[in-house]
Structure 1
Amino acid sequence: MRLANNPALLAISAGICWGTSGLVMRFLGAYGFEAVEIATLRLLIAAGVVSTLALRHAKGMRIPVRQLPWLAMMGAGCLFLYSLCYVRAVEEISLSLTAVLIYTSPAMVMLLSAAFFQEPLTRPKLLALTLTFCGCSLAAGLFPATLHYSWRGIGFALLAALLYALYAVLAKQRAQQCDALTITAWSMVFGAVAALLIVDIPHGLSLVRASPGSLIWIVIIGLLNTALPYLLYTRAVSLGEASQAAMMASVEPIVATLLGMAVFHEVPGIWAWLGIFLVISGLRISVAHSARVSKKEG
């Protein structure tokens, strides 16, 4: 089955693209960019690229006016506000705990999808969800580790997870009435506009002027880590079950771990390797279940 029509491969590909973003953020952070500035730059680049693609499409960016409030919610809320909540969570609690709390989102997507789209809560789904969450916890270093807890930080992380889940559900809902490319383009535009309202633009421009080499990483994070994965993910939820797509995109922390090994020579411990194994096992169950569902529907 072609990638463009296979929701499982689309979601996994999106997760792989997102998994490389931590590497790019490290390089941009070394240039002095703050997290909010990085979030703004990635949305600006992505909005420009995806909007250009949409305008070249036969349908362009034409969309019923009644859809715009929903797309504004997806862009300004689910995309940009998610980034802000993620940053605030990392400021309050450890990165590993934040990552684990973010990956409660597949469970949220599963429950929301069951409520709104009547997607069944099957045993393979629940098993895959359990394996994936436990694997993400181990790969992120949640156990065994001494973590700093803050109820405010935990709240920000859970809010970010909810916003991530809402994007999947809203994208699935909008895709029933609009083209996936158009949905992604408008979401990116609204997200970029929201980001520009609060970011320190002069400071960001001064960093670009001082370090022109940073432009390469800005383009990469905008294209590879934002535009492409959101296009793939939106397409995945429009073709298949939102809960399945959310679980399959959880390959992201595994990709980040492997990149850390390859680029920064970070050697995972036995718990991290166990986490990788559990996530892969959960993904295999998800893919097999998705294939069985597609075969029955076909």
Structure 2
Amino acid sequence: MDTPSASLAPLVPGMIGMVLVGSSVTVSHALVDAPLFSTQAVRYLAATAILLVMARLAGVRPVRPRGREWLWLAGIAVTGLVLFNVAVVRGVAHAEPAVIAVAVACVPLVLGVVGPLLERRSPSRQVLLAAPVVMVGAVLVQGTGRTDAVGVAWAALALACEAGFTLLAVPVLRRHGPWGVSLHTTWLGCVLLAVLGVTLEGPSAVREVSASQWAAAAYLALMVTAVAFVLWYSTVRSAGAGRAGLLTGIAPLAAAAVGAVSGSGLPGAWVWLGIAVVIVGLVAGLRPPSAPAATRLVAEAPPRTQAWGPRT
């Protein structure tokens, strides 16, 4: 894995990716009545095809997984693709989009501690101090937004899955890169969802999907899967999982904005207060460190020849 950068430039792809993830919560509301597994299977099938074309145009040749890499990639597919989408689609039936999306903003503390450890680095004090601020803002939104107990449960599952989506990729990013991890997890997710769809919903379930639902699935396939996955993993590789994790606080901002524009209604005053606290945490955690701190970051980073990851 590359040495994590202290500049803001590597964070830009992740910021865009989190905006797309936040927008997906509102878009996913259109799929509440669709056959969940079958629709998502088609979505990831389309995303796999798009990723193959994009990788070819970018001159990238994904490599085949080997050994334990299959377990890491399958774990990403199960948590970040299958369970996460179940949580989002089912969750928006019980809560406003900002409540579900803000669960993603609780990820920084987990990534801030566990991510650097997986990268064989010490957690950044700056990130650790900023992460609880982001989480406080998330709690304000989740605790005061329109929801019920079921909505909170789905939001908690979305939180766990979002953390797994990033952390489980750390051991395989060095060899496969953002393109390879995105491609392999997408087709694996497609296979898993197709099996669930045929088993639980029947092979003809896709005929029940309406035109507007297919439009929503197409948006999710292109923007939230093919594009956002590559953008996010690019930032995780270049900036480190801990620092990139703070960007998840952007998701509820995007969800609230898209929800308001789409007619889902404006969040209440406490929700906006929570969003403001999230922004404060992001600014505090993502500002470039001072020169001595930046020097220590480079000095403490592991040599590239000693990077982590399975070597089977």
Pairing 1:5-24 to 2, within 5 Å after superposition: 6-24=9-27
1:186 and 1:294 mapped to 2: Cα distance?
34
2:81 and 2:237 mapped to 1: Cα distance?
18
**Larger displacement relative to structure 2 (267-276 or 53-62):** 53-62
Question: Given that residues 51 and 186 in structure 1 are in contact (C-alpha distance below 8 angstroms), is that contact kept between their aligned partners in structure 2?
Answer: no
Note the C-alpha offset of 1:229.
1.1
Partner secondary structure for residue 40 of structure 1 = helix
2:145 and 2:219 mapped to 1: Cα distance?
34
1:19 and 1:139 mapped to 2: Cα distance?
14
Partner of 2:309: none
Q: 1:99 to 1:213 in 2, by over 3 A?
A: closer
Pairing 1:88-107 to 2, within 5 Å after superposition: 99=101, 101-107=103-109
Partner of 2:48: 47
Partner secondary structure for residue 196 of structure 2 = coil
Among 171, 174, 182, the residue aligned to 1:173: 171
Partner of 1:127: 129
Partner of 1:253: 252
Partner of 2:112: 110
Partner of 2:5: none
Question: Given that residues 33 and 207 in structure 1 are in contact (C-alpha distance below 8 angstroms), is that contact kept between their aligned partners in structure 2?
Answer: yes
Question: Given that residues 11 and 246 in structure 1 are in contact (C-alpha distance below 8 angstroms), is that contact kept between their aligned partners in structure 2?
Answer: no
Matching residue's letter, 2:267: P
Question: Given that residues 27 and 217 in structure 1 are in contact (C-alpha distance below 8 angstroms), is that contact kept between their aligned partners in structure 2?
Answer: yes
Question: Given that residues 109 and 169 in structure 1 are in contact (C-alpha distance below 8 angstroms), is that contact kept between their aligned partners in structure 2?
Answer: yes
2:155 and 2:76 mapped to 1: Cα distance?
18
Pairing 1:202-213 to 2, within 5 Å after superposition: 202-208=203-209, 211-213=210-212
Question: Given that residues 108 and 162 in structure 1 are in contact (C-alpha distance below 8 angstroms), is that contact kept between their aligned partners in structure 2?
Answer: no
Note the C-alpha offset of 1:270.
1.9
Question: Given that residues 25 and 38 in structure 1 are in contact (C-alpha distance below 8 angstroms), is that contact kept between their aligned partners in structure 2?
Answer: no
Give the TM-score normalised by structure 2. 0.77
Partner secondary structure for residue 164 of structure 1 = helix
Question: Given that residues 13 and 249 in structure 1 are in contact (C-alpha distance below 8 angstroms), is that contact kept between their aligned partners in structure 2?
Answer: no
**Larger displacement relative to structure 2 (117-126 or 268-277):** 117-126
Pairing 1:190-205 to 2, within 5 Å after superposition: 190-199=188-197, 200=201, 202-205=203-206
Question: Given that residues 145 and 268 in structure 2 are in contact (C-alpha distance below 8 angstroms), is that contact kept between their aligned partners in structure 1?
Answer: no
Give the TM-score normalised by structure 1. 0.80
Matched, 1:285 2:284: yes
Note the C-alpha offset of 1:20.
0.9
Partner of 2:71: 69
Partner of 1:262: 261
Partner of 2:140: 138
Partner of 1:27: 30
Matching residue's letter, 1:24: V
Question: Given that residues 261 and 267 in structure 1 are in contact (C-alpha distance below 8 angstroms), is that contact kept between their aligned partners in structure 2?
Answer: yes
Matching residue's letter, 1:62: V
1:144 and 1:192 mapped to 2: Cα distance?
33
Partner of 1:222: 221
Q: 1:218 to 1:100 in 2, by over 3 A?
A: closer
**Larger displacement relative to structure 2 (110-119 or 185-194):** 110-119
Number of residue equivalences = 285
Provide, for residues 128-178 of structure 1, a one-character-per-residue CA deviation record: whole Å limited to 9, x for no partner.
2122112222234x1387x6447x974x65454333222212323212222
Note the C-alpha offset of 1:72.
2.3
Q: 1:36 to 1:138 in 2, by over 3 A?
A: farther
Partner secondary structure for residue 82 of structure 2 = helix
Matching residue's letter, 1:270: A
Note the C-alpha offset of 1:42.
3.0
Runs of 5+ consecutive residues of structure 1 not aligned to the other structure: none
Partner secondary structure for residue 175 of structure 2 = coil
Matching residue's letter, 1:23: T
Give percent identity, aligned residues only.
21
1:72 and 1:166 mapped to 2: Cα distance?
11
Provide, for residues 75-107 of structure 1, a one-character-per-residue CA deviation record: whole Å limited to 9, x for no partner.
23432233335556678x756765555543222
Matching residue's letter, 2:41: T
1:214 and 1:99 mapped to 2: Cα distance?
20
Partner secondary structure for residue 178 of structure 1 = helix
